[in-house]
């Protein structure tokens, strides 16, 4: 940054795969064969071989019937919600869900209600009152919340889904590749993978590439391809990005030590930060917030970290609520402990 080398503590490249030689080689080879761009939407020019192969791999990885790859994670949420709900339906969304979920839910035409973050009893009350009035109900949640580093209460949500005949959708953008014994995400980690009807995710975080995906029943995936406007009217994901993501997925399956290292480093850093008196909220994952309150304070501490060679993003409104500004630390498997150990001391005066 400005000619200085810095330790990047703000990247979502959790497993370091964006810089992995095998992943870069897969992308380069795909560019040589398929070119840089895809040229048009998939319904105009069809689907490249690498994208088709990635969709098969993602479906197998998630243990479901089918998958569709989208150009961005945002588009994945918009496409899924566009076909899952419409006028006369109900969408119940965690208050801290990603903005793409909120925008997709609004665009669907369904009635949208939010519930307090992680508040299962509030969700139950909404279901009890509103479910009988609507034809279909979708419960949608982030699996791992990107600004807080905590995970959704998926076991409880799965129970409510069954009780009230709802559809459970999980956005696993930040959990895919990192959480669960096989890296399959938050539902695997919670032991409820079979209860999640639809999973949305990205290729741009732990998988180190670009794009998004939706996995679930084949009928849903085919409906997205043929009816979801966000999918239909967007240029297809380039083959090189699909080839890179496919190689990353192979590494996730075959090298579990990467996610174990990432989570172990994060756990050690979180313990040190808490021991030093910092508020890291309910984080249990590779994302660690350091709550500082005011936006001005967050920016000031960001500057102090930068002076020490640590790039730690300051998160302020409108991304988070006023009075809850924070630093957001993202731990990567490729960090050395020496990269992280100095952080509590650098923050010492915060």
Instruction: Give the contacts of 42 (CB within 8 A, at least 6 positions apart).
Output: 51, 225, 231, 236
Q: Are 224 and 234 in contact (CB under 8 A)?
A: no
Q: How many secondary structure helices (H) and strands (E) does the chain include? A: 15, 12
Q: How far apart are CA 153 and CA 141, in angstroms?
A: 9
Q: What is each CA distance from 345 to 222, 227, 274, 275, 349, in whole angstroms?
A: 53, 53, 12, 11, 8
Q: How far apart are CA 251 and CA 57, in angstroms?
A: 12
Q: Can 205 be counted among the known catalytic residues? A: yes
Of 210, 98, 201, nearest to 148 by C-alpha is 98
> Looking at 48, 146, 209, 248, which residue is catalytic?
146
Instruction: Give the contacts of 167 (CB within 8 A, at least 6 positions apart).
Output: 84, 136, 137, 138, 139, 161, 197, 198
Torsion of CA 207, 208, 210, 211, to 10 degrees: 20
Q: Can 146 be counted among the known catalytic residues? A: yes
Of 181, 276, 259, 271, nearest to 17 by C-alpha is 259
Q: How far apart are CA 68 and CA 31, in angstroms?
A: 21
Q: Are 93 and 127 in contact (CB under 8 A)?
A: no
In the DSSP assignment, the letter for residue 153 is -
> Looking at 174, 204, 330, 335, which residue is catalytic?
174
225-240 CB burial, b ≥16 within 10 A, e <16: beebebbeebebbbbb
Of 291, 335, 346, 283, nearest to 316 by C-alpha is 291
Query: Strands (DSSP E) along the chain, which ranges?
Result: 7-8, 66-70, 90-94, 111-115, 137-142, 167-171, 198-202, 212-216, 287-293, 310-311, 314-315, 325-330
> Looking at 62, 98, 205, 335, which residue is catalytic?
205
Question: Which positions are annotated as active-site residues?
Answer: 146, 174, 205
């Amino acid at each position: 940054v400005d000619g200085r080398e810095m330790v990047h503590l703000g990247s979502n490249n959790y497993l370091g795969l964006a810089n992995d030689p095998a992943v870069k080689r897969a992308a380069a080879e795909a560019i040589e064969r398929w070119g840089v761009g895809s040229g048009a939407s998939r319904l105009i020019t069809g689907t490249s071989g690498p994208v088709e192969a990635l969709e098969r791999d993602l479906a197998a990885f998630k243990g479901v019937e089918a998958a569709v790859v989208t150009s961005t994670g945002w588009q994945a949420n918009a496409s899924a919600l566009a076909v899952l709900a419409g006028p006369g339906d109900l969408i119940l969304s965690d208050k801290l869900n990603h903005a793409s979920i909120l925008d997709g839910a609004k665009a669907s035409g369904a009635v949208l209600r939010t519930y307090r973050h992680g508040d299962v009893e509030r969700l139950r009350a909404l279901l009890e009152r509103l479910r009988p009035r609507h034809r279909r109900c979708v419960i949608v949640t982030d699996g791992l919340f990107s600004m807080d580093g905590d995970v959704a209460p998926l076991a409880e949500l799965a129970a409510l889904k069954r009780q009230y005949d709802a559809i459970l959708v999980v956005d696993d953008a930040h959990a895919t590749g990192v959480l669960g014994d096989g890296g399959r995400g938050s539902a695997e980690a919670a032991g409820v993978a079979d209860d999640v009807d639809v999973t949305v995710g990205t290729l741009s975080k732990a998988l180190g590439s670009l794009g998004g995906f939706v996995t679930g029943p084949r009928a849903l995936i085919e409906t997205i391809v043929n009816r979801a406007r966000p999918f239909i009217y967007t240029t297809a994901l380039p083959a090189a990005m699909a080839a890179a993501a496919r190689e990353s997925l192979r590494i996730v399956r075959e090298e579990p030590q990467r996610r174990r290292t990432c989570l172990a480093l994060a756990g050690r850093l979180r313990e040190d930060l808490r021991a030093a008196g910092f508020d890291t909220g309910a984080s249990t994952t590779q994302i660690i917030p350091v709550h500082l309150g005011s936006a001005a304070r967050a920016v000031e501490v960001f500057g102090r970290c930068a002076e020490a060679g640590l790039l730690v993003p300051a998160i302020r409104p409108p991304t988070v609520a006023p009075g809850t500004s924070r630093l957001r630390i993202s731990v990567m498997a490729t960090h050395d402990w020496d990269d992280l150990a100095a952080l509590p001391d650098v923050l010492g005066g915060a």
